[in-house]
Each structure stands twice: as C-alpha cells, then as structure tokens.
Amino acid sequence: MNLMATILLNVLIAFLLGSILFGLQRKIMARIQMRPGPPIIQHLLHTLKFFVKESSFPRTAAMPFYVAIASMLCAIWVSAVIVGPVAQGSLLLFFGIYALHKIVEHNAGSSSGSPYGKLSCVRAVFSAAAEVPLFAVLIIIYLQTNTMVISDIISYQAANGPLLFTIPLAAVMFFVLILSKAPYSPFAITKGKDIISGYETEHFGVLRGYLMISESIAWYMLLWVFLTVFFGPLGVMGYLVGMLALSVLTAFINATTPILNPNHSIMVQVTFAFIGIFGSILLMLAF
Amino acid sequence: MDISTLGGQILGQIPLGDIVLYLTPFNLFMFAGALIFTALIAMSRTETQIEAEFGSLKDNEVKVGLEEFKIRRFLAIVCGLATAGAMITGDLFNFTLFVALIGIVNIGIVSAVKQIDVLNAAFQYGLIAMIASLPLFGGAALVLASTGTLSLLQLSTLASTTPMMYFASLLLLMGIAGETGVAPFYATKAEMFRTPGSPFILIIHLSSLLVIVRAIEILLIINKPF
C-alpha cells in the first residue's frame, strides 16, 4: 500500500479505536459505580462535536503560542503512529515523542493565563519527574534485547518468547505509566476535577477537538507499544483483545480508586519506578 | 555496538574535522522539535495571568513587562538553540558544553522575574546547576582520558567498557541530572514554573526533558552491557 495511505489508515484506526476504548472505560466505570453511564461512542461524538462548535480564544492567552501548542499535540501523536505501527522504528524516538507530549501538556495549561491551567502546568512538571523514571523501562528492554528498534524487539520475542515473562517488573512499570494517562486515574493529577479540566480548561472548539483527538491516539499508542514490546508478534485480534483487556483493567482501577493528591501520586509512581528498575536488573542478573 | 540499534538507521554523516555528526531519525526528530519550539517562542507574545484579589471581587492581572520580555525571549532562544545543538552533536564535549549553557540560560530566563518564590527557586536551582558542572565536565574528561576520543561514533566502535568509563558515565549522569534539574532536583525547579511567560518557561522544561532523552542514548553508547 502507498506509504501516505498506510499512515492515514493507521492514524484513523488509532483515533477511532482510542476514542471507543475511552468510551468503554467510562461505561465500565459508570456500571461499577451503579450509574447507567454514557454510550460507548460518547467520547468519539464529543470529539467530533468540538469541530463544529465555535472556537473562542481567551484575551489573556499567549498568541500564537496558545493555538500552536494544541495543534502540535496532534502532530506529535500522529508522528508516534508513524514511528510505531507504520515504521516500527526506535523506542528511543517514541520516548522523545512522549517527552514532547509532556511539554505540550505543560504549556497548553500555562499559555491560556487561567489559574486552573497554571496549576495543571505546575502539576505536569511534577508528574514529569515521576513519568520520566517510569520510562526507564526502555533501558531495561534494551538491556534484555540489545536493541531499541521495535521490529527487532518483535523478532527477539518471536525467537525467545514474550518479554512479559522475562522482565515482568518492567511491564508493571509501563502499565503504571499507561494508567497515569487514563482519564479519572489515581495519577491523573494534571486533569483533576479540583482544577476543573486542568490544562484543557480554557480550550474550546477546534483546539479542544485537537486535544481530544491527541488523547485518543495517545491512549491507542501507549497500549500498542505495551502489547508490542511485552507480548511480541500479535495479529489484529491479539491487539484488539489486548487493548480491550488493558482498558477494562484500567477502568476497574479508576472506578475504585480516588485521585491521589499530587505529592502522593508522584511518590507512588517513583516507588513503582524504583522497584521496577532495580528489581528488573536483579532478575536479569539472577537468570 | 551498532549505533543504529538505539536511534534507528543512520541516514548520513557530516564530518566537521575530527567531529563527525551522525544523523539518525531520533537525532533529526529531536533537533527539528527543538528548533520548531524555538521558532514558536521567538514569535509569541506572553500570556496575562489572572489571579483572584484577596478582600475584593476584583482580578489581579500579572503581565510580563517589555524590558523583561526582551531579555527573557533572547535567553529562551539561546536555550532553544543550545538544546537543538545538544540533540544533533556527535561529540561528547560539545554535548556537555551545550548542557552547561542550558543550565546557565535557564537561570537567566527566570532571574529577571520580580517574584520572591520564583527567585528563591532559581537561586536554589542555580546552586545545583553550578555544583553539577564539575561532575559533568569531569565525566567527559574521564571518558577522553580512558578512551582517547570524545567522538560518539568512535566510542560506539570500542569493544568493551573499562571501570573508568563506568565511573565517568556515573559522573556524567550526575552532572546532567543537576544541570537539567530533573528528578530528584525537580521539586526545586517546579517552583520556577509559577512565573508568567509561558513561551519562555516552555524552553526550561523542553531542554530538561530532551537532554535527558539524548543522555540515555549517549550513556548507552559509552557503556556496552553486552
């Protein structure tokens, strides 16, 4: 297939599947909390709705930075789809993309001039301190497989079995990272309801649509990377079942766990990172 | 060790005397990302922070003054260019120089702000950054002393890692962590982000995270676990 068509197809799949998985999460969370909950396609409809709504910009916003930053978030996650499912490139590059995502999340909040966005911005800086050590999982994968290239990691697992069984603590670390990106998660301090919608508070219309598209693609990509680097070569059904299972699991955790305060959230994540890094190295030395 | 197992296929090399830049998708993406953000900073206005006023129903608007805006924008652009340089360089000493420059301009970006909490945070971060410059350059010097080269391409071809190189890597890691103010030094740096001037504080965060990602690549090039 033509490269551009492959990219477009993958981006479309990432957006649609990511949106539906978010909708499913909300439905499961609602049922656990004895509520009927919104339809599963609600997140998708919500995203599309923002593209036909009026776009307005706060007079206090840092222009054109405020507009560019929300648009860039979308571009960053489209790049992630190209690096991941399309090109199966370097995990290090994916880490770079995630770092840029953190920066955009941080500045989408501060550029509006809203105090809620600003608080979200400061929390994003704190949360980066926890999420960056969690991303040290990439180094553990490299130490185990001798490569950061996704296609080579898949080949390694085809020959030696899934990495989930050889470096399970690294998989737990990555899962905590995924959990921190789920809405209503105990670690979702940048979008806690105590600060309204965090960095999204002052984004309306098309800009909010961009942010929501990015969230859906980001969710799909994090699940895709997790399944690819810990379960090895999977078919379409394997990915679907895996993404569904992970989304259901996060929904259960989110429905039954309150959002932690920022300090506790960081300390819990750093503890997972500490145990994961040193535990994995010890496991590798032992076996 | 094949350098392409880290950042992807090598797309080209630019030899500048004994310094050879190598271009992988990883380096190019990070370089382009840093430059795009720098261009965005150069053309953006700053936001107006709205805060509630105690004892009344009025709002308090916090703005960045023109003089302050000019100097902070200049320093932010220098920081962006230094970050882009750190992403593309193929020489360990150049990398440490860029990181040291990032540390200096990061302090400068917030030191023009007239807020006590922000200045305190900048002062504390400045102390850490200055202390970290010793292990940063010491690490690079030890790599040169133990291998005879600072070229990352040359370092990637070495067959094994000596104990001195492990020690040098540890020093480098300490230096980079201090200069960029990442964990465990982030708590100090986060207070700096309370100041208005979103485009300028973006570059403080951007430089830290991108340098850390590049540092992972460099440390894995120096240390060969296999």
Q: To which H or E segment does residue A274 belong? A: helix A262-286
Nearest by CB: B202 against A61, A103, A146: A103
User: Helix (H, G, I), strand (E, B), or coil: what is residue A175?
Assistant: helix
Question: Tokens at residue A161, please?
Answer: 């079995």
Nearest by CB: A122 against B190, B209, B213: B190
Q: What is the pLDDT of residues B92-140, one digit of tens each?
A: 999 999 999 998 898 888 887 777 888 888 888 888 888 999 999 999 9
Is A113 in Cβ contact with B29 (below 8 Å)? no
Averaged pLDDT, A213-240: 93
Judge whether B6 is closer than 8 Å to chain A, CB to CB: yes
CA distance B4 to chain A (A): 8
Is B205 in Cβ contact with A128 (below 8 Å)? yes
Its domain, for residue B27, covers 4-222
Q: Which residues contact B215 (CB under 8 A, 6 or more apart)?
A: B172, B173, B176
Q: What is the pLDDT of residues A86-136, one digit of tens each?
A: 988 888 888 888 888 888 878 888 888 888 888 888 888 777 777 777 777
Query: For residue B168, what pLDDT band results from cuts at 50, 70 and 90?
Result: very high
Is B225 in Cβ contact with A99 (below 8 Å)? no
What mean pLDDT value characterizes chain B?
Answer: 85
Judge whether A183 is closer than 8 Å to chain B, CB to CB: no
Is B182 in Cβ contact with A129 (below 8 Å)? yes
User: Which pLDDT value is given to residue A286?
Assistant: 81
Q: Which of A78, A91, A148, A277 to mutate to test the interface with B (most CBs of B within 10 A)?
A: A148
Question: Tokens at residue B181, please?
Answer: 């103010």
Judge whether A40 is closer than 8 Å to chain B, CB to CB: no
Is B226 in Cβ contact with A146 (below 8 Å)? yes
Is the predicted pLDDT of residue A245 greater than 80, yes or no? yes
Compare A78 and B120 and report the one with higher pLDDT.
Answer: A78
- Of all residues in chain A, the one with the smallest CA distance to B28 is A93
- Where are the domains positioned within chain A? 3-286
Is the predicted pLDDT of residue B171 greater than 90, yes or no? yes
Q: What is the pLDDT of residues B59-96, one digit of tens each?
A: 888 777 888 888 888 999 999 999 999 999 888 999 99
- Label residue A34 left, alpha or beta by phi (over 0 means left) and psi (-120 to 50 means alpha): left
User: Which pLDDT value is given to residue B17?
Assistant: 77
Query: Among candidates B171, B51, B119, which has minimal Cα distance to A115?
Result: B51
Q: What is the pLDDT of residues A51-72, one digit of tens each?
A: 999 888 888 888 888 888 888 8
Question: Tokens at residue A124, please?
Answer: 């994003």
Amino acid symbol at B49: Q
Q: Which residues contact A224 (CB under 8 A, 6 or more apart)?
A: A14, A84, A85, A239, A243
- Give DSSP secondary structure letters for A41-108: THHHHHHHHHTTSPP---TTS-TTHHHHHHHHHHHHHHHHHIIIIIT--BHHHHHHHHHHHHHHHHHH
Judge whether A155 is closer than 8 Å to chain B, CB to CB: no
Is A114 in Cβ contact with B50 (below 8 Å)? yes
Query: Among candidates B226, B214, B86, B23, which has minimal Cα distance to A147?
Result: B226
Judge whether A137 is closer than 8 Å to chain B, CB to CB: no
CA distance B69 to B63: 10
User: Which pLDDT value is given to residue B1?
Assistant: 63
Quote the DSSP letter at residue B148.
Answer: S
Query: For residue B177, what pLDDT band results from cuts at 50, 70 and 90?
Result: confident
Query: Among candidates B188, B193, B213, B223, which has minimal Cα distance to B205?
Result: B193
Chain B residues in contact with A65 by the CB 8 A cut-off are 40-41, 44-45, 198-199, 202
Out of B35-39, B146-150, B178-182, which region has the weakest mean confidence (pLDDT)? B178-182
Is B194 in Cβ contact with A95 (below 8 Å)? no
End-to-end CA distance of chain A: 43
pTM above 0.95, yes or no: no
Considering only residues 96 to 125 of chain B, which have any Cβ-Cβ distance to chain A shorter than 8 Å? none
Considering only residues 121 to 140 of chain B, which have any Cβ-Cβ distance to chain A shorter than 8 Å? none
How many structural domains are present in chain B? 1
What mean pLDDT value characterizes chain A?
Answer: 88
